[in-house]
Structure 1
């Protein structure tokens, strides 16, 4: 009796292993196998056929034999998977052609590859990459953008650092697609894209998001000048490291949001953990609960006043644009 249950348990475990590994393998082949679509589908079909024959073997009391061929095929797939490495030397899309880097000399931060495109539409634009310098003694604080592009649960996170005189330096952590590639959340689990740290003029990033029909919301953060400085320099440190050692974007573990909070926790180890860091569409409530935004107004009012998409207008200077977006926004530092 015990032997029968043991064999049944072994078959059940075998079925789970084959099913999940076959699904993972098929997706890995789909996103990474460097073949045209027809031969790529043929390879995937052959792999899934082998998985199906293995499952049939599990129910014909040929457990060991069924596993041998499939295990060999899956081992070969893992060896191939291990040869896929990130690179900074591909034909990347123009908007992600250059990652940001920076050099600190005393209190002067020189930032290379600050993006300042002039967008007429998502396909029609003038490219402009700049070198800008910032006096960290004039750093005032930081703000947090949430850009909702796929419903209320998930948003794109960006942090903008504010300087005296109305200057702002915005950071955006993104996928780095090649010219022919489009965003795929599923592909982000399968080494489809590299990760990139971008920095730029707020006008560039907000105009592009508005052009895409996305909903931008701006929250002023309760950060001291030393805290904002530490976070800004952490961005620069991570960006410099990524320029030297590329890594893959991951939809769950290395994305625009998780990477920000990894940096924050490296600076502030007691920073709270919360499910809303994953479903970052709910971050306003997280900020409010932990006193990171202005709690002198109700949360619903804070969220309502955070909508800034309608304020994004052409023809403004950097300072005018930033001031227009922040007009009448609740500010915990005042």
Structure 2
């Protein structure tokens, strides 16, 4: 029994020290060389103390606990901020305000992307008539990693005007996204409102991702509530920054929380974490457009090829919806000729 307890203690200490090494690597300020040195010193100390602790030197376990406590004190003193040199695409956070029956959104992104890091930068304020709000679409973009996808929600106003909301990491200039880093407070959270030509075009044409669009079945009152929930969440985030987290505060969990907040009775499901399976979850709870199987919705909802062909067309949003279930009544005759 004593030996089993000793092994358990050693295992827990090893896990704690491994977490500490990752926390230092992803969050210690300074150069990469400084972080390498810190992680190397931490790892050497952890290995020595684990070996001594495994040999019955219980004071070694005490030192490990002390080191972890000191690290945790530093960890919980970390605070998110809005004051950092952000990448251009997340330089501004979306905010909005009601003006009677209209919604005014500030800092709507409408970039013309040339590469994944270069674009013609353009932010503007846009006004939306809430009485014309009549559609909500879920857009799922995946890039080949099993279980991983990015989820956005687009709101449509009588098939003529669309705005897409995207919950993203707020990266620094030149910084790349790391799913592992998302567990270690490496990024702040961002809510971006964008033109579909920007958000969908970036992922389909520039990044070459697989993009699917699913029209959601929602009462108009629920559509309005969800849109205003996004605005409320965005306004709150603009006032008080938060850390992004790969599991607890990401593009899917925030949508789930907002949907529950407006009264949707949604069960917990593993597919909320395995984001490329989210369409299956939405189908299971009856949220996707009726009259089709899930495989039909997935097949007919693929829009990346069409989005690449009509990139930056003035009627981009209408064109990418051609053939998508729920959009059969779209007036195809009104669309311009292919560029």
Quickly name the TM-score band, shorter chain normalised: over 0.9
Specify the alignment match of 2:321 in structure 1. Answer: 326
TM-score by length of 1: 0.93
Specify the alignment match of 1:173 in structure 2. Answer: 167
CA RMSD in angstroms, aligned pairs only: 1.7
* Aligned with residue 142 of structure 2, among 131, 137, 148: 148
* Aligned with residue 75 of structure 1, among 52, 69, 72: 69
State the 1:145 CA deviation: 0.2
CA contact (8 A) 1:141 1:224 kept: no
Specify the alignment match of 1:295 in structure 2. Answer: 290
Distance across 2 between alignment mates of 1:231 and 1:333 = 24
State the 1:30 CA deviation: 0.6
How has the CA–CA distance of structure 1 residues 163 and 218 changed in structure 2, closer, same or farther, with 3 Å as cutoff? Answer: same
User: Which string of whole-angstrom CA distances, capped at 9 and with x for unpartnered residues, describes residues 60-118 of structure 1?
Assistant: 3222x112222222222112212211011110000000000000122111100000111
Unaligned runs of at least 5 residues, structure 2 = 330-339
Specify the alignment match of 1:240 in structure 2. Answer: 235
Q: Give yes or no for the alignment of 1:23 onto 2:23.
A: no
Q: Give yes or no for the alignment of 1:266 onto 2:247.
A: no
Aligned pairs (5 A) from 1:196-235: 196-210=190-204, 211-235=206-230
Q: Give yes or no for the alignment of 1:92 onto 2:76.
A: no
Specify the alignment match of 1:101 in structure 2. Answer: 95
State the 1:152 CA deviation: 4.7
State the 1:165 CA deviation: 5.2
Distance across 2 between alignment mates of 1:270 and 1:32 = 37
* Aligned with residue 9 of structure 1, among 4, 20, 41: 4
How has the CA–CA distance of structure 1 residues 168 and 285 changed in structure 2, closer, same or farther, with 3 Å as cutoff? Answer: same
CA contact (8 A) 1:221 1:332 kept: no
Distance across 2 between alignment mates of 1:182 and 1:265 = 32
Aligned pairs (5 A) from 1:42-61: 42-61=37-56
How has the CA–CA distance of structure 1 residues 212 and 282 changed in structure 2, closer, same or farther, with 3 Å as cutoff? Answer: same
Specify the alignment match of 2:313 in structure 1. Answer: 316
CA contact (8 A) 1:294 1:332 kept: no
SS of the equivalent of 2:136 reads: strand
Distance across 2 between alignment mates of 1:190 and 1:73 = 18
TM-score by length of 2: 0.92
State the 1:333 CA deviation: 10
Distance across 1 between alignment mates of 2:34 and 2:316 = 51
Distance across 1 between alignment mates of 2:237 and 2:95 = 9
How has the CA–CA distance of structure 1 residues 288 and 68 changed in structure 2, closer, same or farther, with 3 Å as cutoff? Answer: closer
Q: Give yes or no for the alignment of 1:139 onto 2:133.
A: yes
Aligned residues: 326
